[in-house]
Amino acid sequence: MAWLRGIFITLLSLSSFNSLALAQESIRADHVKVSLVAPTQLEPGDNLFALRFEVDPHWHIYWKNPGDSGTAPRFAFDAKHAAVSDILWPVPKRILVGDFVNLGFEGEVLFPFTVRPGDTATSVEIKADLEWLVCEEECLPGEGVITFTRPVAEKAVWAGDDQKKLGDVMKALPMGSDVSPWSLKSMRMIEGNRVAFEVVHAEGNSIEGLTIFPEDGGVYKPKAPVISDDKKALILDVNANGKVPDVGSFLLVDERGAWTHKDFALTKSDVKMSEAGSLSTFLILLLSAFVGGIILNLMPCVLPVLSIKFFSLAKMNKETRWHEILYYTLGVLVTFTALGGIFLALRATGSAVGWGFQLQSPPIVLSLIMLFFLMGLSFLGFFEFGDAIVRSAGRFE
Protein backbone atom coordinates (compact mmCIF):
# COMPACT_ATOMS: atom_id res chain seq x y z
CA MET A 1 0.00 0.00 0.00
CA ALA A 2 3.01 2.30 -0.34
CA TRP A 3 1.56 3.77 -3.56
CA LEU A 4 -1.65 4.73 -1.70
CA ARG A 5 0.36 6.41 1.07
CA GLY A 6 2.21 8.39 -1.62
CA ILE A 7 -1.05 9.60 -3.14
CA PHE A 8 -2.25 10.69 0.31
CA ILE A 9 0.92 12.66 0.96
CA THR A 10 0.80 14.34 -2.46
CA LEU A 11 -2.84 15.42 -2.15
CA LEU A 12 -2.40 16.65 1.40
CA SER A 13 0.64 18.65 0.35
CA LEU A 14 -1.31 20.31 -2.44
CA SER A 15 -4.13 21.15 -0.04
CA SER A 16 -1.74 22.64 2.49
CA PHE A 17 0.07 24.65 -0.17
CA ASN A 18 -3.19 26.23 -1.31
CA SER A 19 -4.10 27.45 2.16
CA LEU A 20 -0.74 28.79 3.21
CA ALA A 21 -0.56 32.53 3.82
CA LEU A 22 2.86 34.03 3.24
CA ALA A 23 3.89 36.67 5.77
CA GLN A 24 5.32 39.41 3.54
CA GLU A 25 4.44 42.75 1.97
CA SER A 26 2.60 41.23 -1.00
CA ILE A 27 0.40 38.23 -1.66
CA ARG A 28 -0.33 36.52 -4.97
CA ALA A 29 -3.53 34.46 -4.97
CA ASP A 30 -6.06 33.24 -7.52
CA HIS A 31 -6.96 36.16 -9.80
CA VAL A 32 -5.77 38.83 -7.37
CA LYS A 33 -2.53 40.31 -6.07
CA VAL A 34 -2.45 42.24 -2.79
CA SER A 35 0.45 44.54 -1.92
CA LEU A 36 1.36 47.28 0.54
CA VAL A 37 1.66 50.93 -0.48
CA ALA A 38 3.55 52.75 2.26
CA PRO A 39 6.46 55.06 3.07
CA THR A 40 9.79 53.39 3.73
CA GLN A 41 10.22 55.52 6.87
CA LEU A 42 7.54 56.96 9.15
CA GLU A 43 7.23 60.28 10.93
CA PRO A 44 5.42 61.19 14.18
CA GLY A 45 1.67 61.56 13.77
CA ASP A 46 -0.56 59.93 11.17
CA ASN A 47 1.18 58.23 8.24
CA LEU A 48 -0.86 57.25 5.17
CA PHE A 49 -0.76 53.62 4.03
CA ALA A 50 -2.88 51.54 1.65
CA LEU A 51 -3.53 47.94 0.70
CA ARG A 52 -3.59 47.62 -3.08
CA PHE A 53 -5.70 44.91 -4.75
CA GLU A 54 -4.87 44.17 -8.40
CA VAL A 55 -7.68 42.05 -9.80
CA ASP A 56 -7.50 40.08 -13.05
CA PRO A 57 -9.65 41.31 -15.99
CA HIS A 58 -13.34 40.33 -15.76
CA TRP A 59 -12.99 39.52 -12.04
CA HIS A 60 -14.01 41.74 -9.13
CA ILE A 61 -13.94 42.12 -5.35
CA TYR A 62 -16.60 43.73 -3.18
CA TRP A 63 -17.57 46.94 -1.39
CA LYS A 64 -18.70 46.98 2.26
CA ASN A 65 -22.24 46.40 0.94
CA PRO A 66 -21.49 43.66 -1.61
CA GLY A 67 -24.89 43.80 -3.32
CA ASP A 68 -26.87 40.75 -4.43
CA SER A 69 -24.05 38.27 -3.76
CA GLY A 70 -20.53 38.02 -2.41
CA THR A 71 -18.94 39.34 0.74
CA ALA A 72 -16.84 42.37 1.61
CA PRO A 73 -13.08 42.08 2.21
CA ARG A 74 -12.08 41.91 5.86
CA PHE A 75 -9.05 43.63 7.34
CA ALA A 76 -7.74 42.85 10.85
CA PHE A 77 -4.64 44.69 12.07
CA ASP A 78 -2.30 43.75 14.91
CA ALA A 79 0.18 46.54 15.65
CA LYS A 80 3.18 46.89 17.95
CA HIS A 81 4.20 50.40 19.03
CA ALA A 82 1.53 51.99 16.80
CA ALA A 83 -2.19 52.63 16.34
CA VAL A 84 -3.89 51.66 13.06
CA SER A 85 -7.08 53.27 11.78
CA ASP A 86 -10.01 51.57 10.08
CA ILE A 87 -9.92 51.04 6.34
CA LEU A 88 -11.31 53.87 4.16
CA TRP A 89 -13.62 52.57 1.42
CA PRO A 90 -13.35 53.96 -2.13
CA VAL A 91 -16.38 54.67 -4.32
CA PRO A 92 -17.75 51.36 -5.73
CA LYS A 93 -19.33 50.60 -9.08
CA ARG A 94 -22.31 48.46 -10.00
CA ILE A 95 -21.17 45.19 -11.61
CA LEU A 96 -23.72 43.07 -13.48
CA VAL A 97 -23.29 39.29 -13.22
CA GLY A 98 -26.23 37.64 -14.95
CA ASP A 99 -29.34 38.78 -13.11
CA PHE A 100 -27.32 39.90 -10.08
CA VAL A 101 -26.09 43.39 -9.31
CA ASN A 102 -22.91 43.44 -7.24
CA LEU A 103 -21.25 46.48 -5.68
CA GLY A 104 -17.49 46.36 -5.84
CA PHE A 105 -14.26 47.04 -7.70
CA GLU A 106 -12.51 45.86 -10.84
CA GLY A 107 -8.89 46.30 -11.89
CA GLU A 108 -6.74 48.12 -9.33
CA VAL A 109 -8.20 49.48 -6.10
CA LEU A 110 -6.47 50.93 -3.03
CA PHE A 111 -7.87 50.78 0.51
CA PRO A 112 -6.18 53.56 2.54
CA PHE A 113 -5.59 53.58 6.29
CA THR A 114 -3.34 55.49 8.70
CA VAL A 115 -0.61 54.36 11.08
CA ARG A 116 0.31 56.51 14.10
CA PRO A 117 3.56 55.50 15.85
CA GLY A 118 3.67 55.60 19.64
CA ASP A 119 5.24 58.68 21.25
CA THR A 120 8.49 56.87 22.08
CA ALA A 121 8.51 54.37 19.21
CA THR A 122 11.64 54.06 17.05
CA SER A 123 10.01 51.46 14.80
CA VAL A 124 6.62 49.85 14.28
CA GLU A 125 5.59 46.27 13.45
CA ILE A 126 2.20 45.60 11.92
CA LYS A 127 0.44 42.45 10.78
CA ALA A 128 -2.63 42.62 8.53
CA ASP A 129 -4.85 39.51 8.34
CA LEU A 130 -6.86 39.69 5.12
CA GLU A 131 -9.83 37.80 3.73
CA TRP A 132 -11.55 38.47 0.41
CA LEU A 133 -13.80 36.97 -2.22
CA VAL A 134 -12.87 37.40 -5.89
CA CYS A 135 -15.56 36.60 -8.45
CA GLU A 136 -16.26 36.42 -12.15
CA GLU A 137 -19.31 34.15 -12.52
CA GLU A 138 -17.82 31.70 -10.01
CA CYS A 139 -16.20 32.92 -6.81
CA LEU A 140 -12.97 32.02 -5.04
CA PRO A 141 -12.26 32.93 -1.40
CA GLY A 142 -8.79 34.17 -0.57
CA GLU A 143 -6.85 34.93 2.56
CA GLY A 144 -3.35 35.97 3.52
CA VAL A 145 -1.15 37.87 5.92
CA ILE A 146 0.86 40.98 5.15
CA THR A 147 3.51 41.95 7.69
CA PHE A 148 5.78 44.95 7.66
CA THR A 149 8.24 46.84 9.85
CA ARG A 150 9.08 50.52 9.47
CA PRO A 151 11.55 52.80 11.28
CA VAL A 152 10.33 56.08 12.77
CA ALA A 153 12.30 59.30 12.29
CA GLU A 154 11.63 63.04 11.99
CA LYS A 155 10.31 62.91 8.41
CA ALA A 156 8.53 60.30 6.30
CA VAL A 157 10.36 58.92 3.25
CA TRP A 158 8.59 57.59 0.16
CA ALA A 159 9.87 55.52 -2.76
CA GLY A 160 8.87 56.15 -6.39
CA ASP A 161 5.47 57.72 -7.07
CA ASP A 162 3.60 55.88 -4.29
CA GLN A 163 2.93 59.10 -2.36
CA LYS A 164 1.40 60.83 -5.39
CA LYS A 165 -0.71 57.81 -6.30
CA LEU A 166 -2.02 57.51 -2.76
CA GLY A 167 -2.72 61.25 -2.68
CA ASP A 168 -4.85 60.91 -5.82
CA VAL A 169 -6.76 58.04 -4.22
CA MET A 170 -7.45 60.13 -1.12
CA LYS A 171 -8.87 62.97 -3.25
CA ALA A 172 -11.35 60.54 -4.84
CA LEU A 173 -12.58 59.07 -1.52
CA PRO A 174 -16.11 59.90 -0.34
CA MET A 175 -16.34 63.06 1.75
CA GLY A 176 -18.62 63.81 4.67
CA SER A 177 -22.15 65.17 4.45
CA ASP A 178 -20.99 68.48 5.97
CA VAL A 179 -19.33 69.41 2.65
CA SER A 180 -21.90 67.73 0.40
CA PRO A 181 -23.78 69.97 -2.06
CA TRP A 182 -26.73 67.58 -1.78
CA SER A 183 -29.25 67.55 1.04
CA LEU A 184 -32.29 65.38 1.78
CA LYS A 185 -35.69 67.04 1.49
CA SER A 186 -37.76 63.90 2.16
CA MET A 187 -37.41 60.12 2.27
CA ARG A 188 -40.75 58.37 1.78
CA MET A 189 -42.14 54.89 1.34
CA ILE A 190 -44.07 54.69 -1.93
CA GLU A 191 -46.17 52.07 -3.71
CA GLY A 192 -44.42 48.84 -4.68
CA ASN A 193 -42.26 48.52 -1.55
CA ARG A 194 -39.92 51.29 -2.68
CA VAL A 195 -38.35 54.33 -1.08
CA ALA A 196 -38.13 57.73 -2.78
CA PHE A 197 -35.23 60.00 -1.81
CA GLU A 198 -36.02 63.60 -2.71
CA VAL A 199 -32.66 65.38 -2.70
CA VAL A 200 -31.82 68.94 -3.66
CA HIS A 201 -28.56 70.53 -4.79
CA ALA A 202 -27.25 73.69 -3.17
CA GLU A 203 -26.97 75.33 -6.62
CA GLY A 204 -30.19 73.85 -8.01
CA ASN A 205 -28.52 71.22 -10.20
CA SER A 206 -30.62 68.40 -11.64
CA ILE A 207 -30.46 64.95 -10.03
CA GLU A 208 -29.82 63.40 -13.46
CA GLY A 209 -26.31 61.98 -13.27
CA LEU A 210 -26.63 61.45 -9.50
CA THR A 211 -26.68 57.91 -8.10
CA ILE A 212 -27.04 56.47 -4.63
CA PHE A 213 -25.46 53.46 -2.91
CA PRO A 214 -27.10 52.12 0.27
CA GLU A 215 -24.59 51.01 2.91
CA ASP A 216 -27.10 48.51 4.32
CA GLY A 217 -27.47 45.63 1.88
CA GLY A 218 -30.04 43.92 4.07
CA VAL A 219 -32.69 46.58 3.37
CA TYR A 220 -32.23 48.01 -0.11
CA LYS A 221 -31.66 46.28 -3.44
CA PRO A 222 -28.34 47.24 -5.05
CA LYS A 223 -29.61 47.97 -8.56
CA ALA A 224 -29.30 51.53 -9.87
CA PRO A 225 -31.98 53.96 -8.67
CA VAL A 226 -34.82 55.11 -10.89
CA ILE A 227 -35.49 58.84 -11.25
CA SER A 228 -39.07 59.84 -10.42
CA ASP A 229 -41.32 61.27 -13.13
CA ASP A 230 -41.00 64.78 -11.70
CA LYS A 231 -37.17 64.52 -11.77
CA LYS A 232 -36.97 65.31 -8.06
CA ALA A 233 -36.33 61.94 -6.37
CA LEU A 234 -34.16 58.82 -6.64
CA ILE A 235 -36.14 55.62 -6.07
CA LEU A 236 -34.64 52.44 -4.60
CA ASP A 237 -36.37 49.07 -4.30
CA VAL A 238 -36.57 47.46 -0.87
CA ASN A 239 -35.71 43.78 -0.33
CA ALA A 240 -38.67 41.50 0.29
CA ASN A 241 -37.52 40.89 3.89
CA GLY A 242 -36.18 44.41 4.45
CA LYS A 243 -37.73 46.61 7.13
CA VAL A 244 -36.83 50.20 6.37
CA PRO A 245 -35.18 51.77 9.45
CA ASP A 246 -35.92 55.30 10.60
CA VAL A 247 -32.37 56.45 9.76
CA GLY A 248 -30.00 55.13 7.11
CA SER A 249 -26.52 55.69 5.69
CA PHE A 250 -26.07 56.29 1.95
CA LEU A 251 -23.36 57.25 -0.51
CA LEU A 252 -24.32 59.92 -3.07
CA VAL A 253 -22.14 60.08 -6.19
CA ASP A 254 -22.18 62.50 -9.12
CA GLU A 255 -19.60 63.54 -11.72
CA ARG A 256 -17.95 65.94 -9.25
CA GLY A 257 -17.46 63.68 -6.25
CA ALA A 258 -18.96 61.39 -3.61
CA TRP A 259 -20.39 62.10 -0.17
CA THR A 260 -21.45 59.81 2.68
CA HIS A 261 -24.73 60.81 4.35
CA LYS A 262 -25.32 58.97 7.61
CA ASP A 263 -28.42 60.87 8.68
CA PHE A 264 -31.03 60.24 5.98
CA ALA A 265 -34.25 59.92 8.03
CA LEU A 266 -37.47 58.26 6.91
CA THR A 267 -40.37 60.69 6.91
CA LYS A 268 -42.27 59.90 10.11
CA SER A 269 -45.69 59.60 8.47
CA ASP A 270 -44.35 56.69 6.40
CA VAL A 271 -42.78 54.60 9.18
CA LYS A 272 -45.98 52.63 9.87
CA MET A 273 -46.34 51.83 6.17
CA SER A 274 -42.89 50.26 6.25
CA GLU A 275 -43.72 48.14 9.29
CA ALA A 276 -47.05 47.00 7.85
CA GLY A 277 -45.37 45.47 4.83
CA SER A 278 -42.94 43.39 6.83
CA LEU A 279 -45.48 40.70 7.88
CA SER A 280 -46.85 40.19 4.35
CA THR A 281 -43.35 39.94 2.86
CA PHE A 282 -42.38 37.41 5.54
CA LEU A 283 -45.41 35.26 4.67
CA ILE A 284 -44.51 35.44 0.98
CA LEU A 285 -40.96 34.31 1.80
CA LEU A 286 -42.30 31.46 3.93
CA LEU A 287 -44.64 30.28 1.16
CA SER A 288 -41.85 30.55 -1.43
CA ALA A 289 -39.54 28.46 0.75
CA PHE A 290 -42.25 25.79 1.13
CA VAL A 291 -42.88 25.64 -2.63
CA GLY A 292 -39.12 25.49 -3.24
CA GLY A 293 -38.86 22.56 -0.84
CA ILE A 294 -41.64 20.67 -2.66
CA ILE A 295 -39.89 21.24 -6.01
CA LEU A 296 -36.59 20.09 -4.51
CA ASN A 297 -38.17 16.73 -3.59
CA LEU A 298 -38.79 16.07 -7.29
CA MET A 299 -35.09 16.32 -8.13
CA PRO A 300 -33.52 13.03 -9.36
CA CYS A 301 -31.00 13.02 -6.50
CA VAL A 302 -33.77 13.30 -3.86
CA LEU A 303 -36.85 11.48 -5.16
CA PRO A 304 -35.30 7.96 -5.23
CA VAL A 305 -34.16 8.35 -1.62
CA LEU A 306 -37.68 9.38 -0.56
CA SER A 307 -39.14 6.33 -2.32
CA ILE A 308 -36.85 4.07 -0.29
CA LYS A 309 -38.13 5.72 2.89
CA PHE A 310 -41.76 5.37 1.78
CA PHE A 311 -41.32 1.64 1.07
CA SER A 312 -39.75 1.11 4.49
CA LEU A 313 -42.70 2.90 6.13
CA ALA A 314 -45.19 0.77 4.19
CA LYS A 315 -43.75 -2.40 5.77
CA MET A 316 -44.38 -1.15 9.33
CA ASN A 317 -47.55 -1.56 11.34
CA LYS A 318 -49.77 1.50 11.75
CA GLU A 319 -48.65 2.54 15.25
CA THR A 320 -44.94 2.14 14.53
CA ARG A 321 -45.36 3.92 11.18
CA TRP A 322 -46.74 7.12 12.75
CA HIS A 323 -43.97 7.17 15.35
CA GLU A 324 -41.38 6.76 12.58
CA ILE A 325 -42.98 9.55 10.50
CA LEU A 326 -42.96 11.89 13.52
CA TYR A 327 -39.32 11.15 14.40
CA TYR A 328 -38.25 11.44 10.75
CA THR A 329 -39.98 14.84 10.33
CA LEU A 330 -38.62 16.16 13.61
CA GLY A 331 -35.15 14.98 12.67
CA VAL A 332 -35.27 16.85 9.34
CA LEU A 333 -36.62 20.05 10.94
CA VAL A 334 -34.15 20.02 13.83
CA THR A 335 -31.17 19.23 11.57
CA PHE A 336 -31.83 22.02 9.06
CA THR A 337 -32.79 24.51 11.76
CA ALA A 338 -29.49 23.75 13.49
CA LEU A 339 -27.56 24.09 10.21
CA GLY A 340 -29.27 27.41 9.47
CA GLY A 341 -28.51 28.63 12.98
CA ILE A 342 -24.85 27.65 12.64
CA PHE A 343 -24.53 29.51 9.32
CA LEU A 344 -26.23 32.61 10.73
CA ALA A 345 -23.96 32.55 13.79
CA LEU A 346 -20.84 32.18 11.65
CA ARG A 347 -21.92 35.01 9.36
CA ALA A 348 -22.64 37.21 12.38
CA THR A 349 -19.00 36.77 13.41
CA GLY A 350 -17.88 37.88 9.94
CA SER A 351 -17.17 34.48 8.38
CA ALA A 352 -17.85 34.24 4.65
CA VAL A 353 -20.07 31.16 4.61
CA GLY A 354 -23.30 30.13 2.95
CA TRP A 355 -25.01 27.14 1.36
CA GLY A 356 -22.57 25.48 -1.05
CA PHE A 357 -19.89 28.04 -0.25
CA GLN A 358 -17.50 25.32 0.89
CA LEU A 359 -17.33 23.99 -2.68
CA GLN A 360 -15.45 27.16 -3.66
CA SER A 361 -12.68 26.40 -1.15
CA PRO A 362 -9.71 24.59 -2.78
CA PRO A 363 -8.80 22.58 0.38
CA ILE A 364 -12.37 21.28 0.69
CA VAL A 365 -12.58 20.45 -3.02
CA LEU A 366 -9.27 18.54 -2.75
CA SER A 367 -10.61 16.68 0.29
CA LEU A 368 -13.69 15.65 -1.69
CA ILE A 369 -11.46 14.50 -4.55
CA MET A 370 -9.53 12.34 -2.07
CA LEU A 371 -12.77 10.93 -0.66
CA PHE A 372 -14.27 10.02 -4.04
CA PHE A 373 -10.96 8.60 -5.23
CA LEU A 374 -10.85 6.29 -2.21
CA MET A 375 -14.50 5.35 -2.73
CA GLY A 376 -13.69 4.47 -6.35
CA LEU A 377 -10.81 2.24 -5.23
CA SER A 378 -13.15 0.56 -2.75
CA PHE A 379 -15.77 -0.11 -5.45
CA LEU A 380 -13.05 -1.63 -7.66
CA GLY A 381 -12.17 -4.04 -4.86
CA PHE A 382 -8.77 -2.67 -3.83
CA PHE A 383 -9.95 -2.49 -0.21
CA GLU A 384 -13.16 -2.25 1.81
CA PHE A 385 -14.19 0.13 4.54
CA GLY A 386 -17.38 0.98 6.37
CA ASP A 387 -18.44 -2.61 7.13
CA ALA A 388 -18.53 -1.95 10.88
CA ILE A 389 -20.77 1.09 10.35
CA VAL A 390 -23.18 -0.88 8.16
CA ARG A 391 -23.35 -3.71 10.72
CA SER A 392 -23.99 -1.23 13.54
CA ALA A 393 -26.78 0.47 11.58
CA GLY A 394 -28.33 -2.93 10.83
CA ARG A 395 -28.87 -3.61 14.51
CA PHE A 396 -31.41 -0.72 14.64
CA GLU A 397 -33.58 -2.10 11.82
Cα–Cα dist 146/365, whole Å? 26
Phi-psi region of 379 (alpha: psi -120 to 50; beta: other; left: phi over 0): alpha
pLDDT at 167: 93
pLDDT at 279: 59
Q: What is the pTM of this model?
A: 0.68
Nearest to 129 by CA among 51, 15, 65, 18: 51
Portions of the chain given CATH number 2.60.40.1250: 23-172
pLDDT at 13: 44
**Which H or E run contains 142?**
strand 139-151
Mean pLDDT per 10-residue section of the chain, whose length is 397 residues: 46 41 75 94 95 96 93 94 95 92 96 95 94 90 93 93 92 94 90 88 92 90 92 88 80 95 74 48 78 82 77 78 83 86 71 60 84 85 68 55
The domain made up of 23-172 has a fold known as: Immunoglobulin-like (2.60.40)
**Residue 104 three-state SS:** strand
pLDDT at 347: 64
CATH of 177-273, one of 2.60.40, 1.10.3470, 3.40.1710, 1.10.150: 2.60.40
pLDDT at 135: 93
pLDDT at 285: 75
